[in-house]
Amino acid sequence: MNTPESICVSLEMAQRLKSAGWPQESIFRWIELSDEQFILWTKSDYEGTMKEDEEFDGIHGWSIFADAPTAEEILRKLPMHSIHGNSKGYIVTVDDLHDEKGRFAHHEQDFSLANAAAAMFLFLSENKFLSDLCILGQIDPLVSPSFTRGSI
């Protein structure tokens, strides 16, 4: 059985994605409880704790820390890629990247598929292979099979 923890990014990766501008609209969110304790909840979980016309932040001292996208949500924002599983987890590869030195592939590996996909997204974003339009979902990264730094 899949649990939210098995299909969503870790707390650390959620924070990195949020800092990189990942849209905060996932159904899963890391909630900060008191004393720096965190729990992964769905939107319906925390909405069930609110009274009518009440904002979530501040209830019981809790606050929404960051969205926790699933592997599928992240993979949909990546250009053409491959996924391989092995005893060390998952490897996400984008083969057709181009920079001033030529064509190359990049790999990210993690025990969690969501974290490996997030690491790839962060690499592509930080190195200007994805534009803000792609991050925000306003254009489809799968339209172009190859990516040149700054092109999409």
- pLDDT, position 98: 82
- The better pLDDT of the pair 43, 26 is held by 26
pLDDT at 51 over 70: no
Give the C-alpha separation, 22 to 59, whole Å.
25
Kindly list the distances between the CA atom of residue 132 and the CA atoms of 21, 59, 140, 152, in Å, as whole numbers in the listed order: 8, 33, 12, 9
pLDDT digits (tens, 9 = 90+) for 8-40: 999 999 999 999 989 888 899 888 877 778 888
Question: pTM for this one?
Answer: 0.77
User: In terms of Cα–Cα distance, which of 92, 80, 82 is closest to 147?
Assistant: 80
54-105: per-residue pLDDT in tens?
555 555 566 778 899 999 999 998 888 899 998 889 999 998 888 888 888 8
Question: What is the pLDDT averaged over residues 116-145?
Answer: 71
Q: What is the CA radius of gyration of the chain?
A: 17
Q: Is the pLDDT of residue 52 over 50?
A: no
pLDDT at residue 4, rounded to an integer = 79
Q: What is the pLDDT, as a whole number, of residue 142? A: 46
